[in-house]
Structure 1
């Protein structure tokens, strides 16, 4: 279970949002809200960049849960998912000042409880 948490933290702490934004010529940490997340990516780089950033962040959360589950079952799944969110919010590469963890949390929830989360997202999409 500890290995699941360590791997989850490392996955969550990967600075993918800012790395993707830099490929598009945008530095999320120095402009806009200075938050390395999809909303700031949308603000500074447009909807395409935001969609890519969000997809990668969701994927990181999902990956942490899948790896945690394969290593230590349900407890590993929980440890990996929670650690991924913590790694995103308290990012060691950004001096413990990372993102807000929303995209990663969505990925964790989708991977851990797809039967509940996916229909809820469809309902929200239909209403909005």
Structure 2
């Protein structure tokens, strides 16, 4: 115990202050290093966020373009449907005309055909 007392006798209050200051500097250095590391992590996360935002914006633009393309295709399909209906109705009318010509020129007599042509010419004048 006597030895411990002797050591304490040699340690002055300024030594205590220096020791405290050294400890505080080490703590400050560690905190600054930790702060720097956290700052780097934050910067990398911010960079990643910016990249993800850009990717999201690109995908949003792509979705909008695809929606526009789908609308154009739907309009085109609707136009094609209307055209098909018109063509089918024309085909039906042509088939009816063909049937009329068959009935007129194949099934009827020559006298009936001549009579029909004369009446048709009179009506058109």
Same structural fold, with TM-score higher than 0.5 when normalized by the shorter chain: no
**TM-score range relative to shorter protein:** under 0.3
More helix by share: 2
Output the TM-score relative to the length of structure 1: 0.22
Higher CA-based Rg: 2
